[in-house]
Structure 1
């Protein structure tokens, strides 16, 4: 498995391309992602959103049209794909598959697991593919997603942190912004964040 990363737009939102078994999965195509994605895929099979904030989904619709592949979006954030109070110019997109909570998929032979961690937004999820976990805006290196945005929920974030505290793997985490980290490294920070949220 090979993972390509490119920070996109003013918020430097990480767009990822996961190359596995001669196929590619695109994760969080943000602002201006289309040209980079098109230059780096040969056999794309799906677009996945970790959540619905505009800086992660800006190029959804353009890539859907160009590539004719399915879009998977957490169900709780589907409404954010049609309208963004922060960014009125957001190109609207419609998922082919609404991911309901924790859900597993086999996409062209590739096992994909969505793990629902609401708080930053209703649909906020981490996506597991092999030994990689794409943590979106739930977890960053030494930090977590904000819980003071519209549709954020501090209590949901606390419950999500408790849920994450039960993880025992040491997979690499690829966040929506910044550098990779690991499950075990971020587990050490859970108690602190629970005292803050």
Structure 2
């Protein structure tokens, strides 16, 4: 797999292009992502959203229109693509495929797995391709996503973090913001974050 990364917008939200067997998957096209995406794909096949926050989906509609691509989005966050719940003026987009819970799918012959980790948002998920996690705003290097937004849930975040501790094997993590890390490295600090979240409940 080849992975291209470009931070986008004021929040420096990582947009990724993951190329597998010559097929380009666009993950979280945020603010101003369209030109970079167009300049860096040769065979685009899908837009994959980890969750619905505006800084991750801002360019969904524009990229979809220009490249004629389907949008995949977790069920719990589909409303964010159309309703702009945080009032940021996000251009609305319509998901073509709704992902429910932990779901494995095949797109153009490539296996993609969504792992559902709600808390930051109701649909917050990581996208697993081979031994790589695109973790959106669930896990960052030595940190986790916020759980104090509208539609966030500290209780769900605790359950998701506990779930992440049970996963065997190692994965390289490419988060929605900041630098890459690994699942093993983050599993060492997840217990600390579980306690931090619990203190706020």
Question: Smaller-chain TM-score range?
Answer: over 0.9
When the two structures are superposed, what TM-score results if normalisation uses the length of structure 2?
0.96
Q: Distance in 2 between matches of 1:121 and 1:61?
A: 21
Separation in structure 2 between the aligned mates of residue 94 and residue 183 of structure 1, nearest angstrom: 32
Matches within 5 A, 1:2-13: 2-13=2-13
Aligned to 1:76: 76
Alignment RMSD: 0.8
- Distance in 2 between residues matched to 1:38 and 1:105, nearest whole Å: 25
Is contact 1:137-1:176 (8 Å) kept? yes
| Equivalent-residue separation in structure 2 for 1:85 and 1:119 (angstroms) | 16
Counterpart for residue 34 of structure 1: 34
Q: Residue 101 of structure 2 aligns with which residue?
A: 101
Structure 2 unaligned blocks of 5 or more: none
User: SS in structure 2 opposite 1:82?
Assistant: helix
Q: Deviations over 1:93-116 (max 9, x none)?
A: 000000001001110011100000
Aligned match of 2:47: 47
Distance 2:88 2:146 in 1: 21
Q: Deviations over 1:35-60 (max 9, x none)?
A: 00000011100000000000000000
CA–CA distance in structure 1, aligned partners of residues 92 and 191 of structure 2: 38
Which residue of 1 is the match for residue 146 of structure 2?
146
1:167 counterpart residue number: 167
| Residue segments in structure 1 that go unaligned for 5+ positions in a row | none
Structure 2 counterpart of 1:137: 137
Whether the aligned pair in 2 keeps the contact of 1:141 and 1:181 (CA below 8 Å) is yes
2:157 and 2:46 map into 1 onto residues whose CA distance is 28
Contact 1:54 1:87 in 2 (8 A): no
Deviations 1:21-75 (CA, angstroms, capped at 9, x unpaired): 1110000000000000000011100000000000000000011111111100000
Q: How far, CA to CA, are the matches of 2:165 and 2:104 in structure 1?
A: 21
Aligned residues: 197
Say which SS state the counterpart of residue 167 (structure 1) adopts.
coil
Q: Which residue does 1:118 correspond to in 2? A: 118
Matched residues in 2 for 1:5 and 1:91: separation?
22
CA distance in 2, matches of 1:169, 1:68: 36
For residue 159 of structure 1, give the secondary structure of its aligned residue in structure 2: helix
The answer to whether structure 1 residue 65 and structure 2 residue 65 are counterparts is yes
